[in-house]
Structure 1
Amino acid sequence: MIPFVDLKTQLKALRPEIDEVISRVIDQGHFVLGPAVSAFEEKFSTYCRTDHCVGVNSGASALHLALLAAGVGPGDEVITVSMTFVATVAAVLYCGAKPVFVDVDPDRWTMAPELIEAAITPRTKAILPVHLHGLMADMDPIMAVARRHGIVLVEDAAQSHGAEYKGRRAGSIGDIGCFSFYPGKNLGGFGEGGAVVTRDAGLARTVRLLRDWGQEEKYRHVLPGYNYRMDAIQGAILNLKMDYIEGWTEDRRRLAQVYDQELAAIGQKRPSAPSDTRHVYHVYSIEHPRRDALQAALTTAGIGTGIHYPVPVHLQPAYENLGYGRGDLPVTEALAERFLSLPMYPELAPDQVVQVCRELERAHAAEQIEPASRAPSARETNKVLESV
């Protein structure tokens, strides 16, 4: 059996150090924010190559506060994508704003820059690209549009700790960046956690106020804020794990190279990683037109898999009031039906990756499943839809 995710092996390796930092927090008796969180914020800010980091209690909270600090409010619009976890869109709605979706690029799987300009209206306040699976969106053209129109750019980097675009780290290119430290992330805590990073001191100050009831000092509330504070134990664990994240990231990248080589031999479409990027492979996802049959075959063979994400946000029942329907985002919808995420974590052995790929090859042969090329473009998918 090869599990899709294995958190226990990492815990076992770090257990003595983790027990020590947790004991230190307990002995200090400072359980919310405090020195442990401050130490992590400083280390993570340096890692992201930004000037400020504000630890919060989840990635969703990071997105919510980043948008609020950027001035997003009722009546505003935020351009984003539907190929993401629902938290991206929920955070926009928390602000009273309206999410406006654009489709994704069929090869990169992130926001298609050429579609943004047509989505801009006088109400557009922010652009919110998502760095999917550990690969950053094509930021230069996205930033160019944002700057040309005077629009704030917020990076959803929840899956992309340490990813790079033309030598710049995730979270450091836009006005403000948001991270999640959910346990399964490349940098994961022992529960929920998140952070906002920025080079803008004013934005950082506003986020710090908002996360702690809007307090400038104890019992002096200058903004209507939230209880989005990071626990000290989470800060301590994340601070410890920062010493290992680069090694874990390079392990993921080496495993991805094994996947790339093995899957190329059977003609299977692999994730796109342009030469000017550093893909950190939070997820290693392939495309396949018979994804469900392939997943069932791998499950039978003892290979754990996942799907990120089977139903795009604009087709979720909870968000049907946004006014989108099937066919509105054809590339996103095609990818949602084709994505299959394979095992990927630093403790995975290269020979296990080879085993996964051998089982994929057997599934292709046994089920007469042809290897996939790529998701069709919006134009190609529209032609299919028109013929139905």
Structure 2
Amino acid sequence: MAIPLILAVFTAPIIAMAANYTSLVTFIFGDSLTEVGNNNYLRYSLARSDFPFYGIDYPNRIPTGRFSNGRTIADIISEKLGIPSPPPYLSLNRQDDALLKGVNYASGGAGILNDTGIYFIERISFDDQIGCFENTTRVIKKRLGEESAVSLLHEAIYFIAMGKSLLRSPLYVFGLSIGSNDYINNFLQPFLPYSRRYTHDEFLGILELKLAEQLTRLYLLGARKVIFLGLGPLGCIPSQRAKSTTNQCLQQVNEWVVQFNSKVQKLINVLNVKLKKAQLTFADTYQDGMDLVENPGKYGFKVSNTSCCKVETAVGGLCLSYAHVCDNRSEYVFWDAFHPSDAANVVLADRFFTKLFATSNSSSNSSSSHEG
């Protein structure tokens, strides 16, 4: 359920780009950083946030399944584009017209590897999210016809990163990143087999092979223009700081993240050569995330080394209903042990949006700082 700081989500919205973003459709993949309630429909899932104090700053102050006190980064970017945030896939049926208007497949606990987050019992792995997307493409083909649907999918841009030079294309799939859970809820857990059986280099090789398979699968489903957003400094999230006797960032974890980002960037270069007409792009967001943690005052925050909700990291790090929640939530970078606060998501979304959608429209949106 982690995917802290920088969207640990592989988000992918197909955005039908018309002038000034007037007609957009989004399909979002990822983990808890972009989930909007899929896990609420999984009866046995332990990766849930459908209880107080989640949603305390969301409209009507109700928990929705978002792992935040308010909105996700995907919610905020949808607002900037002037479109509704898409509903969770599991809330829809195959005949629902909403499938053609945008769907969120993200699931807390999801990772590149299928057994990542296995102790959450139920979650929708990245493989399964792609399977859900494949089902959606069948609906699109049935509704639009094979030729129109294939054309739509080929012209779409699948964002797993950032790149404004691609904005001239008429269609978009918006994506962020995935991979944080493979560290937080897999390799960094000493009681799970990956940390005992493999060195980090070996583990990284396993992630690379699986991700190559998944990106190729998306390609075979019609994705051509893909942008991958790298991971942020996971060693600085509260759940990792808690492992330090001095509450400092874990340098070793951050070094592994940098290696992961480098490996993914090289993989993308290889796939661009291997897959005909593929246009994959990698964006490294590590420094953006580190700047927010190291210089919170620059963005209007006061606290970046602990969470607003006083969580117990030994029992999961979520903001449980009996926890104490700070009153000054807009001054904290982190909401719980893994996830940014609503205010931090605004900053991250602003920086991401500026790089992605740097057009005249962006001048009407909020600045990189937030009002506390």
Scaled by the length of structure 1, the TM-score of the pair is 0.27
Structure exhibiting the larger radius of gyration computed from Cα positions? 1
Bigger strand share: 1
Scaled by the length of structure 2, the TM-score of the pair is 0.28
